[in-house]
């Protein structure tokens, strides 16, 4: 497949007209070498990958965007569709190829590719096929961009982030899973809806596995800096624990509901991952609940495991994990979540 990008070779024989069309001003200096060119590669041009690509473009996160997929015709179609919107978007060079060589020098590589479940196939067998797929994805990304940050979105994201870490040989701070960043957004939305406030004024985290064993950190939820549960207790306002459990269950079931209605999720994960990309590449040092190496935190032990914790993200990837206070119950649930992920890894033999 031929790669395609922005070009100025419109003249006879591919003559570069940019040098003819513009005349240099006198006494000008060359462009500053300190201006950083930001490049993002997205592997997987499915619904999730394209939602991420589209959101990255509209939010002006990168100077160059590369799409990689195994289906050349669909890939070229997606690339052209985005390129044709150039007049309505910030200037970004968009390219696509089945060849990983095009990803060379990427600052961030986002992996969304994954095998689809065959009817009747076990979850473990599907996971094994995804591990095999990652063996063809991660090594070339690491080879062509040895200083890149890997951001894994493919599910089950915690186990596959661990697989990517092992396959890449990268330090743990440069391998991140999208984890519960979106779960936490759904959580904040539901709390905001109950309290009739803007979700951006709600600080709340879902941690642990991106899945059924995730943990809602009720003890640290705040709205406009006011801790919600302690406020209710001080005001002697009764609340039922089952109500909190139902909100958490609604968070877990949200993706299943969207999938049952439209067949897949795309837009929310697109915004979530673009938000992570911005925090990393703009060195914003924001706190996101993402999948990181969790050994040693909150008594988690038993082997290397990735799960979501509130982490500070910047140009170096994971800069640290916020020391959020957990109740004894929350810490116990988090350790159980880690055990759930480790059991899957042990079944895979990785």
What is the Rg, in whole angstroms, of the alpha carbon atoms belonging to the chain? Answer: 22
Residue 107 near residue 38 (C-beta atoms within 8 A): yes
CA distances from 341 to 168, 181, 346 (A): 20, 18, 9
The answer to whether the annotation marks 99 as part of a ligand binding site is no
The answer to whether the annotation marks 155 as part of a ligand binding site is yes
The answer to whether the annotation marks 45 as part of a ligand binding site is yes
The answer to whether the annotation marks 49 as part of a ligand binding site is yes
Burial 310-329 (b: 16+ CB within 10 A, else e): bbbbbeebbeebeebebeee
Distance CA 82, CA 62 (A): 14
Provide CB contacts within 8 A for 317, sequence distance 6+: 149, 173, 174, 175, 176, 280
Reference 302, options 336, 349, 332, 268; nearest CA is: 336
- 210 is known as an active-site residue: yes
Residue 330 near residue 297 (C-beta atoms within 8 A): no
Tabulate helix, strand, coil % of the chain (nearest 5): 45, 15, 35
The answer to whether the annotation marks 47 as part of a ligand binding site is yes
Distance CA 131, CA 150 (A): 16
Provide CB contacts within 8 A for 205, sequence distance 6+: 180, 184, 187, 217, 220, 289, 310, 324
Provide CB contacts within 8 A for 325, sequence distance 6+: 219, 220
The answer to whether the annotation marks 197 as part of a ligand binding site is no
The answer to whether the annotation marks 46 as part of a ligand binding site is yes
Distance CA 44, CA 65 (A): 13
The answer to whether the annotation marks 184 as part of a ligand binding site is no
**Active-site option among 2, 84, 194, 210:** 210
Here the tokens at position 58 are 């509209």
The answer to whether the annotation marks 305 as part of a ligand binding site is no
The answer to whether the annotation marks 318 as part of a ligand binding site is no
The answer to whether the annotation marks 154 as part of a ligand binding site is yes
Residue 209: phi and psi, rounded to 5, are: -70, 140
Label the pairing between strands 226-227 and 222-223. Answer: antiparallel
Annotated binding residues for NAD(+): 44-49, 69, 130, 153-155
Residues in the annotated binding site: 44-49, 69, 130, 153-155
Active-site residue set: 210
């Amino acid at each position: 497949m031929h790669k395609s990008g922005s070009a100025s070779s419109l003249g006879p024989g591919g003559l570069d007209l940019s040098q003819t069309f513009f005349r240099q001003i006198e006494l000008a200096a060359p462009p500053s070498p300190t201006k950083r060119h930001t490049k993002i590669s997205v592997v997987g041009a499915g619904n999730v990958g394209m939602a991420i690509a589209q959101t990255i473009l509209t939010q002006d996160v990168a100077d160059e965007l590369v799409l990689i997929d195994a289906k050349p015709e669909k890939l070229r179609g997606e690339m052209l569709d985005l390129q044709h919107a150039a007049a309505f978007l910030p200037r970004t060079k968009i390219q696509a190829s089945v060849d990983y060589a095009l990803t060379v020098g990427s600052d961030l590589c986002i992996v969304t590719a994954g095998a689809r479940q065959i009817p009747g196939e076990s979850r473990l067998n599907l996971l094994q096929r995804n591990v095999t797929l990652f063996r063809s994805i991660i090594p070339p990304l690491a080879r062509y961009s040895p200083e890149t940050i890997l951001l894994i979105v493919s599910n089950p994201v915690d186990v596959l982030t661990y697989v990517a870490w092992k396959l890449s040989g990268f330090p743990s701070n440069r391998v991140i899973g999208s984890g519960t960043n979106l779960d936490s957004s759904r959580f904040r939305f539901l709390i905001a809806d109950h309290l009739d406030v803007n979700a951006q004024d709600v600080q709340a985290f879902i941690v642990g596995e991106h899945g059924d064993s995730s943990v809602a950190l009720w003890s640290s939820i705040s709205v406009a800096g006011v801790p919600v549960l302690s406020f209710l207790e001080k005001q002697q306002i009764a609340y039922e624990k089952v109500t909190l459990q139902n909100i958490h269950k609604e968070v877990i079931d949200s993706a299943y509901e969207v999938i049952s209605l439209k067949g897949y999720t795309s837009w929310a994960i697109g915004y979530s991952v673009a938000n992570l990309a911005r925090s990393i590449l703009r060195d914003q040092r924001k706190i996101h609940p993402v999948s990181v190496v969790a050994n040693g935190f909150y008594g988690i032990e038993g082997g290397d495991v990735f799960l979501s914790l509130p982490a500070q993200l910047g140009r170096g990837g994971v800069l640290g994990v916020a020391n959020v206070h957990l109740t004894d119950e929350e810490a116990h649930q988090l350790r159980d979540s880690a055990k759930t992920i480790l059991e899957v890894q042990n079944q895979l033999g990785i």
